[in-house]
Amino acid sequence: MRAPSFEHLAFERKVNDALKSVERILDVERHPRLAGDVEHTYGSKYALVDTTTNAALIAYMNVFEKMGLNSSVLKSIDKTKPTTIRFDANTNCTFEKEQDVNIPMQVTFEEEHKTKTSGIFGNADSKRISKVSWL
């Protein structure tokens, strides 16, 4: 017999953690368990698959609806051909404005830097003033 893989064990650990959370939410008398740990009949497997598949489809439909793909759009799709749903999204940023803001504090600070340079093309003076006011 082969040892269970790491992914399988990690999956079971996540499911068990989720089951503990569900037990806290549900009534105290209910105890959800993994399907493999419960005795069941042959037909029970198909009922479980049917229920979970329907739940997954409803979840997908909720996501599609939030993205704008509502029932009227889905009904307009040609059912005689295979259909692929592809979403394309992009984002971009634009600079909107520059704004000076006075933040009320009790300190004023002003710093001035003067620079003189001389070179082949002549002399240059530059002045930079940094001013921060806290009122």
Q: What is the rounded distance in angstroms from the CA atom of residue 12 to the CA atom of residue 37?
A: 12
Among 21-30, 59-68, 106-115, the range of highest mean pLDDT: 59-68
Nearest 5°: phi and psi at 97?
A: -165, 160
Out of 63-67, 78-82, 113-117, pick the least confident: 113-117
Q: What is the pLDDT of residues 27-49, one digit of tens each?
A: 666 666 777 777 877 778 888 88
Name the band, by pLDDT with cuts 50, 70 and 90, for residue 24: confident
Check residue 30 and give its pLDDT.
65
Q: What is the pLDDT of residues 106-134, one digit of tens each?
A: 666 677 777 777 766 667 777 776 666 65
Check residue 54 and give its pLDDT.
92
Burial 85-96 (b: 16+ CB within 10 A, else e): eeeeeeeeeeee
Q: What is the rounded distance in angstroms from the CA atom of residue 50 to the CA atom of residue 56?
A: 10
Residues near 69 by Cβ (< 8 Å), separated by ≥ 6?
85
Q: Is 135's pLDDT higher than 60?
A: no
Can you say whether the dihedral through the CA atoms of 30, 33, 39, 44 is positive or negative?
positive
Residue whose C-alpha is closest to residue 109's, from 133, 128, 79: 133
